[in-house]
Structure 1
């Protein structure tokens, strides 16, 4: 019988790529779950699910674009039930901290009968260099519909480290971990730290959410993604997540990564430098 593999859904994304790399470093056979992979995996095409599940014994479940989008709960329910019927019980779900819709998806996965772990992530450090904020940072002007609300930004590296522990150690079955960084910051403070690390001027301005949505649409961002961003900035960033947890240290035995270290190391790559 061939070696069982771990399926990493979203395996080309910010957290999935890191999870896959860490599993391989531990000698774990990995299958990437993505449209570009072989076999292909597409959340919107159920015909791709069964081939991707063949010979799999555990799954990192990262839903795209976000568990907050309409229909996510039904998709997660169908997929997790199929996995359990196939004989795959170990499911680790990446969820969102403070997202009511995401928690509904958590419950759907838990109801499947899986041996589950839920990881609720705060806002990623890497949204500033790998995500939708990267172009704004490079341009030198970051505009967002959030002012003084603080967020415990967290590193995707910490999320991946916790996810790998959850996948490989049954001690984490039935646990919900809310992952945060080691301090609270406003978005303006985060941008200021990036500017200092990159040694250049990068301004931050809070704007009305309607203006931000109009700007995204003008840039050709699809309506469903605009609505997702609108939801995240108006509902999730209302102060409900302005607190920290010790869950990273609880799982990994170390403090979470510092934003200042991320800013310094990322700036050194030149990703935030102005084009010559």
Structure 2
């Protein structure tokens, strides 16, 4: 078989898909700005060479309206591909999802489903690893999670579970034409997340609920562009408006087991020293 193309291959999910394919002896090819064949979502001249020889691809799109639009253009130009697995997000296209980030995600999903490819769309909840491998890690280290999520809950999922589901979808063509929503086993508010992380780290960690515009201001002060800051605010607005307080059973459907609980993930992650001050 041709190597599976992993777009954004150095991201949280791409790394895990690659590890799973490695374990199964399945050939793959990573695509990123630093790969042997450089790939850049925002440089269309890199796309054709990246696609050359690819039959199946895993696509984890960039965040934000511009990045999602670029991913859609890429799919429309993905000549030679037969199979595509897309990382999307829960709630795309659902009634009441009136935030710009969801509009962009829905547009991308529509491009994928109309592409003529054998597609699978996986819609995960927020990744628990956002607190250990992404910008939320710095909030944990500072002892304050400063976000505009209000009192809403989210069914946080271990990204290892996401990688397992993605790999299965890539290798098992019976999932073609399906949209699969996945999440952790329970919902947690940010206040509850702070308590879980306090227990796991042994340090006091609190949640500070910011007003959305104050959140944008802090993100821009930290170096985000206004567009990216708006996109982050919109993501947390879904939680703030209690639109993500539900559990999805896709992990059990695909893997035949329950997803990992946040408590277990946090305790094991604390042992790695990632939150040591």
For Structure 1 versus Structure 2, the TM-score category normalised by the shorter chain is over 0.9
Q: Describe how 1:1-276 pairs up with structure 2 within 5 A.
A: 4-64=2-62, 66=63, 68-70=64-66, 72-73=68-69, 75-83=70-78, 85-86=79-80, 88-99=81-92, 100-101=102-103, 102-235=105-238, 237-274=240-277
Are 1:76 and 1:109, in contact at CA under 8 Å, matched by a contact in 2? no
2: distance between equivalents of 1:236 and 1:53? 36
Are 1:7 and 1:59, in contact at CA under 8 Å, matched by a contact in 2? yes
RMSD: 1.4
Are 2:152 and 2:239, in contact at CA under 8 Å, matched by a contact in 1? no
2: distance between equivalents of 1:151 and 1:237? 10
Are 2:185 and 2:260, in contact at CA under 8 Å, matched by a contact in 1? yes
Give the unaligned 5+ runs of structure 2: 93-101
Residue-by-residue CA offset, 1:211-268 (whole Å, 9 max, x unaligned): 1111111222222211111111224642222111211100000001110111001100
Residue-by-residue CA offset, 1:166-200 (whole Å, 9 max, x unaligned): 10001100110111100011011112101101111
Alignment coverage as a number of residue pairs: 267
TM-score by length of 2: 0.92
Are 1:145 and 1:212, in contact at CA under 8 Å, matched by a contact in 2? yes
TM-score by length of 1: 0.93
Are 1:6 and 1:29, in contact at CA under 8 Å, matched by a contact in 2? yes
2: distance between equivalents of 1:236 and 1:263? 20
Task: Give 4+ residue runs of structure 1 displaced > 6 Å after superposition.
Answer: none
Are 1:142 and 1:205, in contact at CA under 8 Å, matched by a contact in 2? yes
